[in-house]
Structure 1
Amino acid sequence: MPWRQVNARQDLHYISMTPSKTMKENYKAIRGYLGLENQEPLLAQQILSMDLLIWNCKGAGNQRFKRNLKELVQIHKPELMVIMETKVEFKSMGMFFNYMEFTASGHVDPIGRSGGIWMLWNPNVVNVRVVEPSSQQITATISRQDFPDWLLLAVYASPNSAKRDDLWAQLETIAQHIEEPWLVARDFNDFTAPTNKRSFHTSQQQHLSQEQRRSRKFTERIDSCKLIDLGCTGPQMTWSNNRKNRANTIVRLDKALCNTK
Structure 2
Amino acid sequence: METKISAERVEDLRIPLGYAGCFAVNSDGLSGGLGLFWSRDYEVDVKSYSIGHIDAMVRKKDHFSPEWRFTGFYGAPRAENRYHSWRFLRTLFGVPHSAWLCMGDFNETLYASEHFSRAARPEWQMRNFRDAVDDCQLQDLGWSGTAYTWDNRQAGDANVKARLDRALANSEFLIRFEHTRVRHIVATESDHCFVLVELRERLSEQRTSGAKLFRYENVWQTHADYDKLVKDSWEKGAGQRGLVGVVDALQNLQAKLSSWGAEEFGCLPRTVKKLRQKLNSLRAKSVGRGPSEEEKAVVKKLRRALHQEEI
Same fold (TM over 0.5): yes
What is the CA deviation profile of residues 201-220 of structure 1, one whole-angstrom value per residue up to 9, with x for unaligned ones?
A: 3xxxxxx4x62222222111
- The higher relative CO (CA closer than 8 Å, separation ≥ 6) is in 1
Q: Greater share of strand residues, 1 or 2?
A: 1
Q: Please name the residue that 2:43 is paired with.
A: 127
What pairs with 1:75-224 in structure 2 (closer than 5 Å)? 83-84=1-2, 86-92=3-9, 96-122=13-39, 124-144=40-60, 145-201=63-119, 208=120, 211-224=122-135
State the one-letter code of the partner of 1:137.
Answer: H
Larger helix percent: 2
Aligned residues: 170
Moved more, 177-186 or 247-256: 177-186
Mapped contact 1:157–1:189 kept (Cα < 8 A): yes
Could you report, residue by residue, the CA deviation over 1:222-261 in whole angstroms, capped at 9, with x for unpaired residues? 1011101111111011111111111111111111100111
SS at match of 1:92: helix
Quickly say closer, same or farther: Cα 1:104–1:197, change in 2 above 3 A.
Answer: same
Alpha-carbon deviations, 1:42-91, whole Å to 9, x = none?
Answer: xxxxxxxxxxxxxxxxxxxxxxxxxxxxxxxxxxxxxxxxx32x222232
Asked if the contact 2:11/2:24 (under 8 Å) is kept, the reply is: no
- Does the CA contact (< 8 Å) of 2:14 and 2:22 recur in 1? no
Paired amino acid for 2:45: R
Q: Return the letter of the residue paired with 1:190.
A: E
Partner of 1:225: 136
Note closer, same or farther for the CA distance 1:231–1:104 as it changes in structure 2 (3 Å cut): same
- TM-score, normalised on structure 2? 0.51
AA aligned to 2:65 is F
Q: State which structure, 1 or 2, has the greater radius of gyration over its C-alpha atoms.
A: 2
- Native 8 Å contact 2:10 2:35 kept in 1: no
Matched residue type, 1:187: D
Letter matched to residue 214 of structure 1: Q
* Offset at residue 179 of structure 1 (A): 3.1
Q: Which moved more, 1:247-256 or 1:101-110?
A: 101-110
Corresponding letter in the other structure for 2:36: M
Query: Following TM superposition, by how much is the alpha carbon of 1:185 offset from its aligned partner in structure 2, in angstroms?
Result: 0.5
Query: 1:133 offset after TM fit, Å?
Result: 1.3
What's the secondary structure of 2:41's corresponding residue?
A: coil
The SS at the match of 1:148 is coil
Overall identity of the aligned pairs, in %: 28
The amino acid across from 1:102 in the alignment is: Y
Secondary structure of 1:133's counterpart equals: strand
What is the CA distance between 1:189 and its match in structure 2?
0.6
Q: Superposition pairs for residues 13-52 of structure 1, below 5 Å?
A: none
TM-score scaled to structure 1, two decimals? 0.60
Is the Cα–Cα contact under 8 Å of residues 107 and 133 in structure 1 kept in the other structure? no
- SS of the residue corresponding to residue 131 of structure 1 reads strand
Give the letter for the 2:122 counterpart.
Answer: E
Gaps of 5+ in 2: 173-311
Q: Structure 1 runs of 4+ off > 4 angstroms?
A: 93-96
Q: 1:87 to 1:179 in 2, by over 3 A?
A: closer
Partners of 1:243 and 1:100 lie apart in 2 by 31
Shift of 1:100: 4.3
CA-atom RMSD in angstroms:
1.9
Assess, with a 3 A threshold, how the Cα gap between structure 1 residues 129 and 96 changes in structure 2: closer, same or farther: same
1:129 deviates by: 0.9
Gapped runs of 5+ residues in structure 1?
Answer: 1-82, 202-207
Check if 1:243 corresponds to 2:137.
no
Aligned match of 1:26: none
